[in-house]
């Protein structure tokens, strides 16, 4: 790869951080199964668990405002390391679902700071032509580690269910190291215009105004967020019902569920992230999104088909195939989710764009899991999977529609952008 000195140093530290971050990635994929099996959570508690991550993201616009006005962003990685990762060592004293929810709330609250901070790192230290590619390589490495750790975790929990406490302890220590390592990267912040003293208005009111300002002035970014909202709705609404389906309907143990969620679901991410990263660097962001959202639609479709299969074995095999497809699609979605906002920032600091993006996921998180839970309780699981499929197809259609609109606009045709966001 044709990397300059700053890119090489940044990439090496990113790989080190990714190595230690494998346990956090593992935890995010197995936390719902731990909740359902080890902590005997109620269905409503599972729904709350799935809401913690997106709802925590709502705070990202305030983190983004702080980052946008900061010359030294290293200190925020240290903040995440000790308050948002090391706190998991208290998992040794987690014996019930409510304390588990409290612990994860702290973790995800600070994750809403880590995401835009890391995004700013990519924007400032890595050139446009290398961002998706390098991000793809780091994701592949992290995924490989997460797959291995997840398999071991499943085996251990099938032997002794109480070992989830030790898993939380190790995740806290390794996650702390992962975030702290990022603070060693010097961010060449070429997008900082001036540093303002953050009073109450600047910190709490201004970010909300800034969010609406970005949406109003950058129509492409607004369209991107519209399309992503449909994807997120479809993705989040099935999250609370999946552990119910795997544990109660298919009677899967820790090892088999972790193989599905933590290994098969990661194969595509592991093998295809560099390829999708290169595609992202070369393709229009909306064209790229239309492809990966359509692929992701096969994931809930596979779950729907599994419910029509005769016998637990055939249904389980279909679920495994669905997770394989999920991993392929998520290799592209992850890159779009993380790198997409930089495409619209231009010469501005991408931290705020990514914070707006992450915050909108928080807004979705306020109702999407509950919406899926409500459909599950009133109509059934099959209806949840079909509704999720519909949302992914809408996201794909709108993305391709806007891509065609951009082609016409760039060719000089007279186009009306006032009603392009909806049907």
Task: Give residue-wise pLDDT tens across range 23-32.
Answer: 888 888 889 8
Q: How many residues does the chain have?
A: 423
Number of Cβ within 10 Å of residue 247's Cβ equals 17
Contact by Cβ (8 Å): 187, 124: yes
pLDDT of residue 392: 95
**How far is 280 from 341, CA to CA, in rounded Å?**
12
**How far is 183 from 178, CA to CA, in rounded Å?**
9
Pick from 44, 385, 24: nearest CA to 240? 44
pLDDT of residue 417: 58
**Buried b / exposed e along 291-308 (16+ C-beta atoms within 10 A):** bbbbbbbbbbbbbbbbbe
**How far is 53 from 24, CA to CA, in rounded Å?**
13
pLDDT of residue 422: 44
Query: Binning pLDDT at 50, 70 and 90, where does residue 222 land?
Result: confident
**Which of 13-17, 33-37, 186-190 bottoms out in mean pLDDT, i.e. has the lowest?**
186-190
The pair of structure tokens assigned to 106 is: 């702290």
pLDDT of residue 423: 35
pTM above 0.95, yes or no: no
**Between 257 and 335, whose confidence is greater?**
257
Q: Collect all residues with Cβ–Cβ distance below 8 Å to 154 and sequence separation of at least 6.
A: 30, 253, 254, 255, 256, 257, 258, 259, 262
**How far is 140 from 73, CA to CA, in rounded Å?**
26
**How far is 347 from 234, CA to CA, in rounded Å?**
33
DSSP 421: S
Average pLDDT, the chain: 83
Q: Checking phi first, is residue 311 left (phi over 0); if not, alpha (psi -120 to 50) or beta?
A: left
Half-sphere exposure of 198 (CA within 13 A, CB side): 15
Q: How many helices (H) and strands (E) does the chain have?
A: 21, 0
Query: What mean pLDDT comes out for the span 66-92?
Result: 84
Alpha-carbon Rg of the chain, whole angstroms? 21
Q: Is 218 helix (H, G, I), strand (E, B) or coil?
A: coil
Residue with tokens 């997770």: 323
pLDDT of residue 351: 66
Query: Binning pLDDT at 50, 70 and 90, where does residue 265 land?
Result: confident
Tell me: pLDDT of 194 over 70: no
The pair of structure tokens assigned to 386 is: 């079909």
pLDDT of residue 414: 63
Query: What mean pLDDT comes out for the span 266-274?
Result: 81
Q: Collect all residues with Cβ–Cβ distance below 8 Å to 313 and sequence separation of at least 6.
A: none
Query: What mean pLDDT comes out for the span 162-185?
Result: 92
CA 259 to chain centre: 20
pLDDT of residue 275: 82
Query: What mean pLDDT comes out for the span 271-294?
Result: 84
Tell me: pLDDT of 401 over 80: yes
Query: Binning pLDDT at 50, 70 and 90, where does residue 197 land?
Result: low
**How far is 295 from 328, CA to CA, in rounded Å?**
8
């Amino acid at each position: 790869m044709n990397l300059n000195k700053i890119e090489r140093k940044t990439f090496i530290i990113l790989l080190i951080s990714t190595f230690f971050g494998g346990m956090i990635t593992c935890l995010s994929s197995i936390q719902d199964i731990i909740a359902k099996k080890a902590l005997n959570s109620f269905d409503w508690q599972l729904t709350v668990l799935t809401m913690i991550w997106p709802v925590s993201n709502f705070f990202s616009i305030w983190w983004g405002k702080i980052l946008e006005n900061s010359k030294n962003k290293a200190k925020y990685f240290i903040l995440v390391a000790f308050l948002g990762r090391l706190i998991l060592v208290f998992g040794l004293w987690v014996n019930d679902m409510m304390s588990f929810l409290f612990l994860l709330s702290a973790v995800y609250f600070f994750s809403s700071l880590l995401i835009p901070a890391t995004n700013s790192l990519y924007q400032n230290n890595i050139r446009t032509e290398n961002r998706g590619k390098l991000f793809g390589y780091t994701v592949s490495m992290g995924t490989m580690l997460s797959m291995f750790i997840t398999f071991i975790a499943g085996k251990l929990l099938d032997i002794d269910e109480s070992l989830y406490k030790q898993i939380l302890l190790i995740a806290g220590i390794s996650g702390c190291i992962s975030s702290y390592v990022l603070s060693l990267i010097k961010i060449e912040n070429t997008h900082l215009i001036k540093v303002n003293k953050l009073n109450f208005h600047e910190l709490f009111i201004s970010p909300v105004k800034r969010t609406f300002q970005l949406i109003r002035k950058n129509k492409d970014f607004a369209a991107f967020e519209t399309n992503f909202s449909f994807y997120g709705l479809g993705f989040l609404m099935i999250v609370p019902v999946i552990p119910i389906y795997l544990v109660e309907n298919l009677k899967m143990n820790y090892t088999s569920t972790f193989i599905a969620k933590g290994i098969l679901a990661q194969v595509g991410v592991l093998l295809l992230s560099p390829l999708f990263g290169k595609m992202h660097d070369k393709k229009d962001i909306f064209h790229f999104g239309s492809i990966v959202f359509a692929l992701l639609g096969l994931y809930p479709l596979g779950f729907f088909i599994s419910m029509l299969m005769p016998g637990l074995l055939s249904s389980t095999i279909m679920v495994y195939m669905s997770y394989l497809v999920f991993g392929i699609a998520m290799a592209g979605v992850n890159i779009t989710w993380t790198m997409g906002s930089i495409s619209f920032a231009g010469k501005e600091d991408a931290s705020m764009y990514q914070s707006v993006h992450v915050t909108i996921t928080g807004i979705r998180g306020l109702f999407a899991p509950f919406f899926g839970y409500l459909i599950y309780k009133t109509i059934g699981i099959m209806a949840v999977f079909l509704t999720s499929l519909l949302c992914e197809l809408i996201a794909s259609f709108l993305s391709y529609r806007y891509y065609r609109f951009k082609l016409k606009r760039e060719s000089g045709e007279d186009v009306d952008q006032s009603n392009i966001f909806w049907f």
